[in-house]
Amino acid sequence: MGKRYETVIGLEVHVELATKTKIFCGCPAAFGGAPNTHVCPVCTGMPGTLPVLNKKVLEYAVAVGLAANCKISEYCKFDRKNYFYPDNPQNYQISQLYLPICTDGGVEIETEAGKKTVGIHEIHMEEDAGKLIHDEWEDCSLVDYNRSGVPLLEIVSRPDMRNAEEVIAYLEKLRMMIQYLGASDCKLQEGSMRADVNLSVREEGAEKYGTRTEMKNLNSFRAIRRAIEGERERQMELLEAGGRVIQETRRWDDNKGESYAMRSKEDAKDYRYFPDPDLPPIVIDKAWLEEMKKAQPEFRPEKIKRYQKEYDIPDYDIEIITASKRMADIFEETVERCGQPKKVSNWLMVETLRLLKENGMEPEDIRFSPENLAKLIKMTDAKEINSSVAKEVFEAMFDRNADPEKYVEEQGLKTVNDESALREAVEKVIAGNPKSVEDYRNGKEKAIGFLVGQTMKEMKGKADPGEVNKLLREWLQEMKE
């Protein structure tokens, strides 16, 4: 290829909000449920029914807008976007076009190439659509409206990104910010965070943007990266061959690794937006906005600073723990219950991260409670269990938030503090391992480790290794004398 091209990327990110109920009716917004069990006349578009806005949706929208440095509109409205498709029971989506709730913001991202700001054109509130299930057998489709009316925020960036690294950094940034706000769990795989990629290419140095395409159906970072590369190649090849890019929506097929155009004669792309007469406008006055500003949580940079001041733990730990709001919350709540930030941090940094990795889980999926972690730490401190037992207990906590006290009780894992039982075991081990005893006496320090291990085995693991070590040394010393 002769010319050098620059890729220009803008993103439309849809985030499903973590409200209890849907945006315009009192149905549960929770994921799952048998088909059409989270529905009512409103979210199935029955005649005569009317929408009423869930206040929490507005509050989350403002919170995300503030976090993304947006201007919060004093006056905003809902509009109807009209198009026929069976996943949308009214055949219009209630969204915001003319006066969205947040405009003109931006977030800072960092890639290997350095820091830059990605502008946010607007953030608006809208409703999600139902789910279509294709029935190959009967050659028809089936509609489940459980997701119909689940609240969404659509975050529209400016075309400020130039490559997949920046796109992913931007998505990671949004995700962390929104998770910190508790506004969404932002899981790409489950669809609670979805990104549509608008991409165009232009000759390097050109002032005008090229014609862009929009790609949908990207449900992992990997798919996003591959789709960007693929579409960039496709457009460049088109231009090189003297063709031109058509503005269109394309669907990414991650299995085939290619995109295809979603075109239909019946798809006129004329949405006839107009203000929804069923929903009065929203006016956010200064006082209310101030209140919402005050309710904003502490974001990561402030959290890092505070941790550095408050807790005596390494910067590296702070970096990892604050990378997830869930992790940071567990850390703080556990420390509040049992003190000992260093020990709490260790549990998170070592065992927790290991198990998350082994299970392919995200910190957001952690099941154990701060109460139980605090209990576990207190039990080890009190030498009620030894450290290897503690690890076993922790695995049970990680797996199913088992109560450590109950678990130790049920499994009979409590450390035996019975001096005579321990003495008996030590005696037995010394008698049974003359070679090791001999080695130790000859100055081989290492031999003591073997003897401790054997004694622990004899005690079925329920002894305090430190105690065993001390006793063995005393015993061997006595024997020497």
Partner 1 sequence: MELLEWTALELSAKIKTGEIKARDAVLAALERIEAGEGIYHCYITVDAEGALRRAEEVQRRMDGGELSGPLSGVPVAVKDNICTEGLLTTCASKMLGNFVPAYSAEAVRRLEEAGAVILGKTNMDEFAMGSTTETSAYGETRNPWDIGRVPGGSSGGSAAAVAAEECFLALGSDTGGSIRQPAAFCGVVGIKPTYGTVSRYGLVAYGSSLDQIGPIGRNVSDCAAMLEVITSYDKKDSTSINREDTDFTAALTDDVEGMRIGLPKDYMGDGLDREVREAVLEAANVLAGRGALVEEFDLGLAEYAIPAYYTIASAEASSNLERFDGVKYGYRAAEYEGLHSMYKRSRSEGFGPEVKRRIMLGSFVLSSGYYDAYYLKALKVKALIKKAFDEAFAKYDLILGPAAPTTAPVLGESLADPLQMYLGDIYTVSANLAGLPGISIPCGKNSEGLPIGLQMMGDCFQEKKMIRAAYAYEKARGTFGRPTLASGTDGAGRGVCAEGEGGKKSGKTI
Partner 2 sequence: MENRINDEMIEHIGILAKLELSAKEREQAKEDMGKMLGYIDKMEELDTSGIEPLSHAFGIRNVFREDEEANGNMREDVLKNAPEEKDGMFLVPRTFEG
Q: Contacts with partner 2 in 81-100 (CB under 8 A)?
A: 82, 84-86
Options 269-277, 372-380, 407-415, 432-440: segment touching partner 2 (CB under 8 A): 269-277
Identify the residue among 27, 236, 393, 447 touching Zn ion (CB under 5 A). Answer: 27
Torsion of CA 445, 447, 452, 457, to 10 degrees: 160
Over the window 126 to 155, marking each residue x when it contacts partner 1 by CB under 8 A and - when it does not, the resulting string is ---------------x-x------------
Quick one: which of 91, 247, 308, 359 contacts partner 1 (CB under 8 A)? Answer: 91
CB of 270 to partner 2, least distance (A): 6
Shortest separation between residue 335's beta carbon and partner 2, angstroms: 31
Rg (CA), the chain: 30
The answer to the question of residue 154 lying near Mg ion (CB under 5 A) is: yes
Both tokens of 56, joined, read 């929490």
Bridge partner list, 122: 103, 156
Among 117, 119, 120, 82, CA closest to 101: 120
Sign of CA dihedral 256, 261, 266, 272: positive
The neighbour count for residue 423, using CB atoms within 10 Å, is 12
Work out whether 49 is an interface residue with partner 2 (CB under 8 A): no
Q: Which of 274, 302, 350, 359 binds partner 1 (CB under 8 A)?
A: 274
The site string for Zn ion over 40-79 (x = CB under 5 A, - otherwise) reads x-xx------------------------------------
37 belongs to the binding site for partner 2 (CB under 8 A)? yes
- 414 binds partner 2, rule: CB under 8 A: no
Between 25 and 236, CB nearer to partner 2: 25
How far is the C-alpha of 297 from the C-alpha of 307, rounded, in Å?
A: 15
Q: Per rule CB under 8 A, is residue 272 in the interface with partner 1? A: yes
C-alpha 200/C-alpha 222 separation (Å) is 20
Out of 3, 20, 305, 342, the residue judged to bind partner 2 by CB under 8 A: 20
Would you call 28 helix, strand, or coil by DSSP? strand
Tell me the C-alpha distance between 474 and 274, whole Å: 87
* Nearest Cα to Cα of residue 327 among 335, 16, 393: 335
Compute the distance between CA of residue 97 and CA of residue 102 in angstroms, rounded to an integer: 11
Site size for Mg ion (CB under 5 A): 1
Number of neighbouring beta carbons within 10 Å of residue 313? 21
Q: Measure Cα distances from 373 to 49, 243, 359 in Å.
A: 48, 62, 19
Q: x-or-dash pattern for Zn ion, window 409-438, by CB under 5 A? A: ------------------------------
Output 216 or 378, the one with its CB closest to partner 2.
216
Neighbours of 461 (CB within 10 A): 16
**Residues near partner 2 (CB under 8 A):** 19-21, 25-28, 34-37, 39-41, 44, 46, 52-58, 77, 82, 84-86, 132-135, 138-145, 264-266, 268, 270, 272, 275, 277, 279-283
